[in-house]
Amino acid sequence: MTDSDSLYHRLFSNPLMVEGLVREFVPDAMAAGIDFNGMERINAKFHANQGKRRDGDVIWRLPTREGPGLYLYILLEFQSTIDRWMVVRLMVYVGLLWQQIIRDHKLKRHDRLPPVLPVVLYNGDRLWDAPTELADLMALSADSTLWRWQPQIRYHLLDEGAFSWEDLARRDSLAALLFRLEHSHETDELVSLIDEVIVWFRNHPDYGTLRCLFTEIVQQAVRGLKDQGTAISIPEDMREVRTMLATRVQEWVRQWKAEGLAEGLAEGLAEGKAEGKAEMLLRQLRRRFGTLPAEIEDRVHAAPCDQLDIWGETFVDGKTLPEIFGPEQAH
């Protein structure tokens, strides 16, 4: 198991992360009427792949409102690479899970198996192109007399890179923040995302374990920056990481000019970053305060990068518009 896989297993061993993922990204499960208050983590005790124990599986049992005693089992599989035969692997895992349920719950002759919804969470750079249902792998025509004897299974694919940035930014959940952090490759973009993470945990102070895990995600995102250049020492505290990155953006702009880079190009790059920062800051402000005064919108759109950085820092701790933009916004 890679460090990234281990981090995902720890993240989605937390019920809040699983609830956010299901609510935002698994509509078929929500349609079953999930009762998240009764969700329960299931420890996998079965074996696969030449007897290898499947302790790493993240499986949750969720009560549904479709009938008394009816549970939906969510089997989460994490992938950083594309596996063409994933649906075959999941067919085996689901069978092994059902065997465990039959054994542990001592199912009787007239009992029925609970439904299982396999979910593949993929965070690789390439878009997932492997079949998501077994029928697409079968060397058999659907009108063959043998077709009805073939097993049928499919999985719900969550390809993080397939969601647009705007779509994810509209979603107010840690799962959506995770997807954006995993696919953020620009320093100034990552600074704004760290602001959002800091604000979320400031508003939810009881989730210390998740905060530690998201600090690891942030550190991992910093290591993967395409404009990071030489290796840098990454602070342990999320706020310090944010300050370090914001400082580096300012240093790079100064360095471009000092090295004689065409003034127009340096300014163009800075203005491009300012436009992106402005839109990110406005999204954060609207999420917290709702519709913004027109003068706030105008000030943010017209502000240079350094001013946007200042407002981005005050946004983290500011609870009102005057605290972020100054007392002139007292109304």
User: Given this model, what pLDDT does residue 247 score?
Assistant: 60
Q: Are residues 134 and 208 in the same domain?
A: no
Which of 129, 162, 195 represents a domain boundary (last residue)?
A: 162
- What are the pLDDT tens digits along the chain (331 aa)? 455 668 889 999 999 999 999 999 999 999 888 989 999 998 877 666 555 555 557 999 999 887 656 788 898 999 989 999 999 999 999 999 999 999 999 999 899 999 999 999 998 888 999 999 999 999 999 899 999 999 999 999 999 989 988 888 888 788 998 998 888 777 767 777 888 888 888 878 888 888 888 888 887 777 776 555 445 555 556 566 666 555 655 554 455 445 554 454 445 545 556 676 777 778 778 777 778 888 888 888 888 877 887 887 777 677 788 888 876 554 4
Instruction: Give me the sign of the Cα torsion angle 127, 130, 133, 139.
Output: positive
Q: Are residues 130 and 224 in the same domain?
A: no
283: buried, middle or exposed (CB in 10 Å: 19+, 13-18, 0-12)?
Answer: middle
User: Is 175 within the bounds of a domain?
Assistant: no
Closest by CA to 163, choosing from 151, 179, 150, 148, is 179
User: Given this model, what pLDDT does residue 47 score?
Assistant: 62
Which domain range does residue 192 map to?
184-329
217, 193 Cβ separation under 8 angstroms: no
Backbone angles phi, psi at 64, to 5 degrees: -120, 165
Q: What is the mean pLDDT of the chain?
A: 79
What is the per-residue pLDDT across 259-297, written as a single tens digit (0 to 9) for each? 554 454 445 545 556 676 777 778 778 777 778 888 888
- For the entire predicted model, the pTM comes to 0.72
Q: Are residues 198 and 104 in the same domain?
A: no
Q: Are residues 146 and 279 in the same domain?
A: no
Q: Are residues 309 and 191 in the same domain?
A: yes
Can you read off the two tokens belonging to residue 181? 């952090």
Q: Are residues 243 and 143 in the same domain?
A: no
User: Is 124 within the bounds of a domain?
Assistant: yes
64, 33 Cβ separation under 8 angstroms: yes
User: Is 179 within the bounds of a domain?
Assistant: no
The structural domain count of the chain equals 2
User: Is 174 within the bounds of a domain?
Assistant: no
User: Is 172 within the bounds of a domain?
Assistant: no
User: Is 146 within the bounds of a domain?
Assistant: yes
What is the per-residue pLDDT across 290-317, written as a single tens digit (0 to 9) for each? 788 888 888 888 888 778 878 877 776 7
